[in-house]
Structure 1
Amino acid sequence: MLLHLMCFLLLSLLSFTTCSNSSRPSIYDVLRAHGLPMGLLPKGVVDFEVDDDGRFQVHLDQACNAKFENQLHYDRNVSGTLSFGKIGSLSGISAQELFLWFPVKGIRVDVPSSGIIYFDVGVVYKQFSLSLFETPPDCTAATSSVEAIGTVFEGESGELRYKLDHELVGRDFVEFDWNPRLEEAKLLPVSFVSQKRKRLSEAEAIDQMKPKSGL
């Protein structure tokens, strides 16, 4: 009799635990409840926490890359602050543009929806179709770590420069000409900058070889 009672209690406890876990909303449900598409986070979420202020942490099974119009990289841990239609203070997601990776600092959608989603990558807001993020994407394991550009130099003229990590391009710089009337930055390739410096060096050498007046 006692054995039957213990088995009944054990089965009841297991059933209660299963029901409790299944009733907990997923992180994708949390995104949708905040007016955001579920596909902002990939498949492979193993755990997450959200507090009453909207601060969240998401833990993936591995760092990975997902393909939309651009490539997105997800660290194993992604964090930020949720509000309706917006994620702020975002960390752990980077977006690829050409051969560069830019940290995504925030994401927002229009309320009411215009069908557009905006990614804040520091220089501009990148616009994507909201339909790209309807479902969580497959995410392939990242074969190497991603070093996102994080240091911005802004001059008085409004020109922005991004300094690349020396492991990527030696000591060269990639320069961005920023025109406040345009909503995008014009990229000057590293080779262009190197050639420009080379021409300046040659001009300086020729100038030094000229005879000085008055000697």
Structure 2
Amino acid sequence: MTLFLFSPFFFFFFIFFASPLIAAPDPSTIYDHLHLHGLPIGLLPKNITKFSIDSSTGRFHVFLDQPCNAKFENEVHYDFNVSGRLSYGQIAELAGISSQELFLWFPVKGIRVDLSSSGVIHFDVGVVDKQFSLSLFESPPDCTAADPVDQSFAFNAASLDTDRPFSTKEAQNLQLEDSELRATS
């Protein structure tokens, strides 16, 4: 009987049949969760250590030390908190990420990868579906502290509703912000 326990047959039996029964470790980083959901890890900036995720719903929250900007083809702004709902190949209900287009900032509402073989990732910015190369998001980007002037402008531009006229108060605020921006330039 002792001979059977140490035979090559037992060794191969254990490797091929018992090893799948050993549980894989839980993902330890938000980047692991992105990867497991078929998304590139470079969607979020480097050095994120604090996050929460509900594995039953896919809801996640990422906490950054400070708002910051990263450069891909466009400038991307990350708020203190980024949240959304992960499912395979997409992030829905996204909040806390904005993308710059020309001189305006737009909130990114969702991200999806239809086929990883296509090499394309889609950003839903509400008014348009932006396509980028997946290769831009292979690794987490460096993220530089956001300039407070740019940050205040980003939040106001992202919240503009261009289908309605501005109120007098909104127009005054935009004029004031414009004059403040010109004064600091």
TM-score by length of structure 2 reads 0.70
Distance 1:71 1:167, change over 3 A: farther
Structure-2 change in CA distance of 1:114 and 1:137 (3 Å): same
* C-alpha distance in structure 2 between counterparts of 1:121 and 1:37, whole Å: 19
Per the TM alignment, residue 44 of structure 1 is displaced from its structure 2 partner at its CA by: 2.8
Kept in 2, the 8 Å contact 1:86–1:107? The answer is yes
Which whole-Å CA distance do the structure 2 matches of 1:44 and 1:97 have between them?
26
What CA distance in whole angstroms lies between the structure 1 residues aligned with 2:172 and 2:44?
29
Confirm or deny: 8 A CA contact 1:46 1:61 kept in the other structure.
Answer: no
2:175 is the counterpart of 1:170 = yes
Runs of 4+ in 1 over 4 A off after TM superposition: 165-169
Post-superposition offset of 1:26: 0.6
Partner of 1:97: 101
In structure 2, relative to structure 1, the CA distance for the partners of 1:59 and 1:153 (3 Å cut) is: same
In the TM superposition, 1:12-161 aligns within 5 A as 25-51=28-54, 52-144=56-148, 145=151, 146-147=154-155, 148-154=157-163
Q: Which sections of structure 2, spanning at least 5 residues, go unmatched? A: 1-24, 177-185
Distance 2:96 2:124 in 1: 13
- Please, which runs of 5 or more residues in structure 1 have no aligned partner? 1-21, 155-160, 172-215
Q: Say whether the 8 Å CA contact 2:68–2:78 is kept in structure 1.
A: yes
Taking only the aligned residue pairs, the percentage that are identical comes to 61
Structure 1 or 2: larger helix share?
2
Distance 2:89 2:27 in 1: 22
The structure that has the greater radius of gyration is: 1
**Partner Cα separation in structure 1 for residue 28 and residue 138 of structure 2:** 18
Q: Contact (CA 8 Å) 1:44, 1:61: kept in 2 or not?
A: no
Structure in which a larger fraction of residues adopt strand? 1
Q: In the superposition, relative to structure 1, how do residues 111 and 46 fare at CA in structure 2: closer, same or farther (>3 Å)?
A: same
Contact residue 28 and residue 38 of structure 1 kept, 8 A? yes
RMSD of the TM alignment (CA)?
2.3
Q: Equivalents in 1 of 2:172, 2:72: separation in Å?
A: 27
CA distance in 2, matches of 1:122, 1:109: 17
Q: Which amino acid aligns with 1:30?
A: H
Give the structure-1-normalised TM-score: 0.61
Q: Equivalent residue for 1:7?
A: none
Structure 1 position 152, deviation (Å): 3.6
